Amino acid sequence: MQVSGYRDGPAIRVAGLGKRFGDRVAFEDVSFEVGYGEVFGFLGPNGAGKTTTVRTLGTLVVPSSGSATVAGLPLTPDNGVEIRRRIAIMPESPGLYLRLSVAENLECFADLYEVPDGPGRIDRALQAVDLTRRAQDVCGALSKGLRQRVALARALLSDPEVLFLDEPTAGLDPVATLDVYELIDGLRRRGVTIFLTTHRLEEAERLCDRVAILNTTLRAVGPPAQLRDRLFAKTLTVRTVVPLADPDALFTGLPTVEGWRRDGSAGYVLIVSDPAHAAPSVTRALVAAGADVLSIGESRHSLEDVYLQLIDQRSESGTP
Amino acid sequence: MRAIRRKEFREYRRNGNLVFATAILPLIFLIQPVIQVFTLPTSASMTLRHEHSLVYMLAIPVLVPAVLASYAVVGERLQGTLEPVLTTPVRPEELLLGKAMAAFVPSVVVAYAVFALFVAIVEFFARPAVASALIQGPDLLAQLLFTPLLASWSIWVGIAISARSSDPRTAGQISVLMSVPTVAVTTLIALNVIPATLGIAVGFGAALLVLVLVGWRVVSVIFDPERLITNTN
């Protein structure tokens, strides 16, 4: 079923989606939207339900509850074929025919996708992952990293609107990983929506416009910076050569400084509402007080901090 | 379906175990009767005229596809290729038909080729009386007509077992075991225990046709992508 003008809405819309296998809950009550051309990171610990969510959105698994729209089409059994025509999924395991060559593997999938100009598409996909020279190699003889690249080439064959990548850099060396990052950036520029499942938080922070953190239920959705701001107070870290005589008198009352605490003998963490405004006034106050300042800097929380905080919250709440 | 068929043929060619298992059964069914035919005296032709020894070779289109089809689904699961294939626009029914066709074509070709070879050997090298007693028109026709039906039935049994198995060897062994009743029927006809009448042939053919259609429906139900991918029951 072709829906005209479907690109007006989000590429993926998920509302209260859930999947149970008997008594076991894979994921439940998951809701989010992913816009066209967005790189959306999907994070979570092992067993959080990430892969099952991807399989559900990819029409391989039937949801137990909720609804979804994928590539402009409602996620229903009738739309399965058309949805799969518009998307591509690179699963966690490359899943290649090991007795066939790289080119033969891609030929098979080009035929299954019924892509026009199969040989041309295969050449472009191989170029994109820098595997042109290995086209005739038997997949069984390739390293894990090279197999991963073949699987990525396979996912690119159909020129998908929405591309699900499950751990695309697992097993890749640093150079190949950077190549994949560049490839994802290139796909983003072409307007391809990328749903990236990863354990590498630095990868998500680098590539993703927004991330979702899942641990059976959705813990948070948003841009990494926004999640940081939501979870952690903005802080300035001040270090002096010797401890300040009366830090409370010095820091209390300064503009945008909301509180402070010690961090070691001559270190101070200031909770601020606006680091850009607070830093100059703190510097001036320290100089005026005759303090020998070693450093003043904004404390940066990584996505890993956000992730761990959210997963910890989950554990503390006692939810499975 | 063409994509699946082409891929399957490529995989068959490069799967030594599968080629060996597919080749050994027809050889067994060829060598043993050939030796027997050469040792038969002319006087045996009277007994042979009342038997349907050629029907015995209908075991080939039962056993060969059982081996090939038993690898169809479990082989994909073992390689981790089932999930990528099912994420393409191919329908599960198309995938199954593609796999069935891929097993059907070589099975029927092998069955006809072995049969033709046997007939040629008998015709050229056996004693003339034995040859004329062995090679009977109705038996040739039965071989021609029942080979595709038996192969189709065997393929659906093999794919059904493959869809429920987690080990290709076990799937192969069970598939061959499941072929035994069909082979027993053809052997009993060959030995004239079951009379080879036109009525029996028509009834057997109709039953096979029904079984093939039912087999296709059953396999379509058994082949549950969600269960196969998530390893859940």
Please list, in sequence order, all residues whose beta carbon lies within 8 angstroms of the beta carbon of residue A32, skipping any fewer than 6 positions away: A12, A14, A40, A212, A218, A221
The answer to whether A36 touches A30, Cβ cutoff 8 Å, is no
Residue A203 CA to chain centroid, in angstroms? 7
Q: Looking at residue B94, what is its pLDDT? A: 93
Contacts of B80 in chain A (CB under 8 A): 91, 93-95
Do residues A197 and A167 make contact, with C-beta atoms less than 8 angstroms apart?
yes
Q: Cβ–Cβ of B85/A112 closer than 8 Å? A: yes
Q: Give CA–CA dist A267/B89, Å, rounded.
A: 60
Strands (DSSP E) found in chain A: 12-21, 24-34, 39-43, 65-70, 73-74, 87-90, 162-166, 193-197, 210-215, 217-222, 235-240, 257-262, 267-272, 293-298
Alpha-carbon gap: A28 to the closest alpha carbon of chain B (Å): 17
Least reliable range by pLDDT among A306-310, B16-20, B22-26, B149-153: A306-310
Tell me, yes or no, if the pTM score tops 0.90: no
Is A320's pLDDT higher than 60?
no
Across all residues in chain A, what is the average pLDDT? 88
- Residues linked to residue A96 through DSSP beta bridges, in sequence order: none
Give me the residues paired with residue A262 across strands.
Answer: A268
Buried b (16+ CB within 10 A) or exposed e, A219-231: bbbbebeebbeee
Task: Out of B79, B90, B91, name the one closest to residue A98 (CB).
Answer: B79
B77: closest chain A residue by CA: A95
pLDDT band at A2 (very low <50, low <70, confident <90, very high): very low
Q: What is the pLDDT of residues B127-166, one digit of tens each?
A: 888 777 777 778 788 888 899 999 999 999 999 999 999 8
Name the residue of chain A whose CA is nearest to B10's CA: A100
CB < 8 Å to A93, chain B: 80, 83
Give the one of B11, B83, B232 whose C-beta lies nearest to A60's C-beta. B83
Contact B225 A60 (CB under 8 A): yes
Our measurement of the distance from residue B138's CA atom to the centroid of its chain's CA atoms, rounded to an integer in Å, reads 21
A193 by DSSP, 3-state: which? strand
Contact A34, A72 (CB under 8 A): no
Q: State whether B84 and A151 contact (CB < 8 Å).
A: yes
Structure tokens at A94: 């490359």
Q: Are A114 and B225 within 8 A, CB to CB?
A: no
Q: How far is B124 from chain A (nearest CA, A)?
A: 41
Distance CA A2, CA B169 (A): 44
Q: Which of A129, A42, A25, A92 is nearest to A307 (CA)?
A: A42
Tell me the pLDDT band of A316, cut-offs 50, 70 and 90: very low
Contact A58 B87 (CB under 8 A): yes
Task: Give which of A249, A211, A219, A233 is closest to A311, Cα–Cα.
Answer: A219
CB B73 within 8 A of CB B166: no
**To the nearest whole angstrom, how far is the Cα of A119 from the nearest Cα of chain B?**
14
Burial group, residue B102, by CB count within 10 angstroms (0-12, 13-18, 19+): buried
* Mean of all residue pLDDT scores within chain B: 86
Among candidate residues A57, A54, A51, the one with its CA nearest the CA of residue A75: A57
Considering only the beta carbons, identify the residue of B83, B90, B226 that sits closest to A91. Answer: B83
Residues of B in contact with A62 (CB under 8 A): 226
A23 interface with B at CB cutoff 8 Å: no
Please give the residue of chain B at the shortest CA–CA distance from A24. Answer: B232
Nearest to A275 by CA among A244, A243, A239, A300: A300
CA distances from A121 to A69, A116, A117, A156, A164 (A): 28, 8, 6, 9, 19
Cβ of B86 within 8 Å of Cβ of A60? The answer is yes
pLDDT per residue over A202-212, tens digit each? 888 889 999 99
d(CA B219, CA B214): 9
Strand partners, A194: A39, A163
Is 80 exceeded by the pLDDT of residue A228? no
In the numeric block, which tokens belong to residue A280? 């100059």
Interface test with B, best of A52, A64, A87, A111 (most B CBs within 10 A): A111
- Residue A318 reports pLDDT greater than 90: no
* C-beta atoms of A21 and B230 within 8 A: yes
What is the rounded CA–CA span in Å between residue A31 and residue A65?
Answer: 12
Does B85 contact A at CB distance below 8 Å?
yes
Highest mean pLDDT, choosing among A169-173, A304-308, B4-8, B27-31: B4-8
Taking CA atoms, what residue in A is nearest to B82?
A95
Both tokens of A107, joined, read: 């030929």
Predicted confidence (pLDDT) per residue in A94-121, tens digit = 999 999 999 999 999 999 999 998 899 9
Q: Among residues B155, B148, B137, B115, which one has the least CA distance to residue B198? A: B137
Beta strands (DSSP E) in B77-216 are none
For residue A99, list chain B residues with Cβ-Cβ distance below 8 A: 10-11, 14-15
Distance CA A52, CA A55 (A): 5
Q: Is the pLDDT of residue B18 over 50?
A: yes
Residue of chain A minimizing CA distance to B9: A100
pLDDT at position A175? 84
- Residue in A2, A108, A159, A167 to test binding to B, most B beta-carbons within 10 Å: A108
Q: Which helix (H) or strand (E) holds A58?
A: none
Cα–Cα distance measured from residue A130 to residue A149, given in angstroms and rounded to the nearest whole number = 8
Residue A134's pLDDT is what? 94
Indicate the pairing of strand A87-90 with strand A162-166.
parallel
Query: pLDDT band at A313, cuts 50/70/90?
Result: low
Of B108-112, B201-205, B210-214, B218-222, give the lowest mean pLDDT range.
B201-205
- Binary contact (A84, B87; C-beta < 8 A): yes
Residue A89 to residue B84, Cβ atoms within 8 A: yes
pLDDT per residue as tens digits for the range A30-53: 999 999 999 999 998 888 899 999
pLDDT of A22 higher than 80: yes
A170 has a chain B CB within 8 A of its CB: no
Which pLDDT does position A139 carry in this prediction? Answer: 95
As for the ipTM of the complex, it is 0.83
Q: How confident is the model at residue A161 (pLDDT cuts 50, 70, 90)?
A: very high
